[in-house]
Amino acid sequence: MAGVTFVRAAITETAELLAAMAGDDALCAATARAVDACIAALRTGGKIMLCGNGGSAADAQHWAGELVSRFCYDRPGLPAIALTTDSSILTAIGNDYGNDRLFARQVEALGTRGDVLIAISTSGNSPNVLAALEAARAKDIATVGFTGRDGGRMPALSDICIQIPSGSTPRIQEGHEVLGHALCAMIEAAIFPRQTV
């Protein structure tokens, strides 16, 4: 029964976080601004780049997949790329320049003005994520940070910073997932509105 108690407690903790997020006007407004930035980029021929480490790398790949393939319904693909997936590029950059340059080097190579970089770090202090934000700013690429309550160095380097009101890494990741899905759904609906008969 201890296992059941733990599961219920985990669900309750997440539910409480989601309720706090729903009532957080600044968080919801920042997410809406991030959506607007992505829509503006896509409508002018730009793309969305995403990066993060560990679970945040998984989020980057997940959200890119939802945009390139489909999310709520069938429609043409949207240009998004996770900078976390090419093992040859990642190991080459890590070997030649160090892990702190994993994402920045790709932003320098692939990013252009009019794109958006979505950078994900629960602590807000991941060196390679921060370096990517700096590289994006140098190229006049819009930057969106996803982080936790404290934010670390990320808010100062992000045009828009989405800070989940928690200090717990698992809860921050769960909050990111909810808002990442909202972001994908709103982008999809804006660029390719569902046709009703």
Binding-site positions for substrate read 53-55, 66, 95-96, 121-123, 126, 173
Residue pair 20/78 in contact (Cβ under 8 Å)? The answer is: no
Residue pair 159/49 in contact (Cβ under 8 Å)? The answer is: no
User: Which residues make up each annotated binding site?
Assistant: 53-55, 62, 66, 95-96, 121-123, 126, 173, 181
Provide the β-strand partners of residue 118. Answer: 50, 144
For residue 76, give every residue at least 6 positions away whose Cβ sits within 8 Å of its Cβ, in sequence order, or none. 192
At 159, list the tokens.
């045009």
d(CA 60, CA 95): 23
d(CA 162, CA 164): 7
Residue pair 26/94 in contact (Cβ under 8 Å)? The answer is: no
In degrees rounded to 5, what are phi and psi of residue 53? Answer: -115, 150
For 110, the 3-state DSSP assignment is: helix
User: Which residues make up each annotated binding site for Zn(2+)?
Assistant: 62, 66, 173, 181
E strands, the chain, in order = 48-51, 80-82, 116-120, 142-147, 160-163
